[in-house]
Amino acid sequence: MKILAIETSCDDTCVAVLEIRNWKLEIISNIVSSQVNLHAKYGGVYPFMAKREHQRNLPIVFKKALKKAKNPKINLIAVTIGPGLEPCLWVGVNFARDLAEKLKLPIVPVNHIEAHIYANFLNYESGSRNLFPAICLVASGGHTQLILMKNVGNYKILGETRDDAAGECFDKVARILGLGYPGGPAIAAEAAKYKIQDIKYKIQLPRPMIYQKNYDFSFSGLKTAVLYLVKQLTINNKQLTISQKREICSEAQQAVIDVLIHKTLKAAKDFKAKTIILGGGVAANDELRKQLKQRIKKEIPNTKYIIPDTKYCTDNAAMVAATAYFNLKKNKSLEPENIEANANLRLK
């Protein structure tokens, strides 16, 4: 069977075609059109601007995806309905509805957070046996959640951010440092160049909520700490030196990683997880991927560790198609007019 999926929940316009043959998933096209140049000017995403871009771009991306897949015969349409930016979600939902009606195809609604989890199963051959219970850490620009996954389609949100998401924190810190948008990759690149001998003094940033006995996060204080630090360092019109900037990037990145890893391991131990699963844009961070692997090996070596290919961490529609496939039994397709965007959709 072939699934065509559409994803427009934030600032990437995405269409993919996934083919499933003999239980194997094959991505036959996966087009992501990023609005990053548009939003870079403003250091963040403005929903109504993003919506207009999706409206302009989606028909083009759709045609490209079909062409790349050599005009396949589609069996099912999948579309992200939430969570995300409401005006943006509606662009994808309306497009998918029209398509489903025109082609007389079933349409399946997909949760964006769940899709970030299923990005892990795009090329995970042994399927989903013996993985559960799993602890999923989904960290992106819009969300940071720790989820107990008891089985396919069976979730409990254990904790989440009370303010900014991890990726949002990177984006805001990058803006303070004049590093552009999206902040995560820019901070990771600067942090990698940081050399301890360049630095005269050692800065320290907070690890918010790290030792609290819950699975929640808070990252807005970290961004504020960077803001005050930069104000202090640039008093009397001084400029930040390159090494200062790099040190701040390195320490801010490490602060976020420390909290994410600490809480993920705590959840994995508390719930005797068989697997730890990572997802979302922040899961593309090399240091996070590497350090989490090391800590699992050291502290809970019998726990499996699954991470998506970096290119499937950030938003894409291949993961949306995979989610629709794995939930085929549960996610009965609906009449197109009953598919609606829900900006605050939650996993259950």
Which residues contact ligand KG4 by CB under 6 A?
Answer: 10, 140-142, 167-168, 170-171, 182-185, 188, 280-282, 284-285, 314-315
User: Least Å distance between CB 324 and Zn ion?
Assistant: 16
Binding at 336: pick from Zn ion, ligand KG4, none (beta carbon under 5-8 Å per type): none
User: Least Å distance between CB 72 and ligand KG4?
Assistant: 26
* Residue number with CB closer to Zn ion (140 or 327): 140
Q: Is 315 in the site for Zn ion (CB under 5 A)?
A: yes
User: Least Å distance between CB 280 and ligand KG4?
Assistant: 5
Q: Is 160 helix (H, G, I), strand (E, B) or coil?
A: strand
* Residue number with CB closer to ligand KG4 (190 or 333): 190
Say if CB 15 and CB 58 are below 8 A apart: yes
* Residue number with CB closer to Zn ion (251 or 315): 315
Of the candidates 122, 97, 107, 93, the residue with the CA atom closest to the CA atom of residue 30: 122
Return the structure tokens found at 72.
């396949």
Q: Is 303 in the site for Zn ion (CB under 5 A)?
A: no
State the pairing for strand pair 144-151/154-160: antiparallel
Binding at 284: pick from Zn ion, ligand KG4, none (beta carbon under 5-8 Å per type): ligand KG4
How many residues touch Zn ion under the rule CB under 5 A: the total is: 2
What region, left, alpha or beta, does residue 237 occupy, with left being phi > 0 and alpha being psi -120 to 50 degrees?
left
Q: What is the DSSP string of 22-44?
A: TTEEEEEEEEEEE-HHHHHTTTS
Say if CB 267 and CB 135 are below 8 A apart: yes
Position with the least CB separation from Zn ion: 140
Say if CB 194 and CB 243 are below 8 A apart: yes
User: Least Å distance between CB 189 and ligand KG4?
Assistant: 8
User: Least Å distance between CB 63 and ligand KG4?
Assistant: 23
* Residue number with CB closer to ligand KG4 (88 or 149): 88
Return the structure tokens found at 4.
């065509």
Would you report the helix, strand and coil content of the chain in percent, each value rounded to 5? 45, 20, 35
When computed from its CA atoms, the radius of gyration of the chain, rounded to whole angstroms, is: 20
* Residue number with CB closer to Zn ion (100 or 320): 320
User: Least Å distance between CB 320 and Zn ion?
Assistant: 10
Q: Which amino acid is at 196?
A: I
Of the candidates 163, 174, 9, 182, the residue with the CA atom closest to the CA atom of residue 80: 9
Binding at 13: pick from ligand KG4, Zn ion, none (beta carbon under 5-8 Å per type): none
* Residue number with CB closer to ligand KG4 (171 or 190): 171
Binding at 208: pick from ligand KG4, Zn ion, none (beta carbon under 5-8 Å per type): none
Of the candidates 225, 224, 209, 85, the residue with the CA atom closest to the CA atom of residue 159: 209
Among 35, 57, 120, 140, binds Zn ion (CB under 5 A): 140
* Residue number with CB closer to ligand KG4 (100 or 117): 117
User: Least Å distance between CB 104 and ligand KG4?
Assistant: 31
Return the structure tokens found at 171.
């984006």
* Residue number with CB closer to ligand KG4 (98 or 309): 309
User: Least Å distance between CB 183 and Zn ion?
Assistant: 15
Q: Is 8 in the site for Zn ion (CB under 5 A)?
A: no
Say if CB 263 and CB 233 are below 8 A apart: no
Of the candidates 172, 169, 173, the residue with the CA atom closest to the CA atom of residue 161: 169
Map the footprint of Zn ion across residues 70-109, applying CB under 5 A: none
Report the distance separating Cα 266 and Cα 45, nearest Å. Answer: 33
Residues lying near Zn ion in the complex (CB under 5 A) are found at: 140, 315
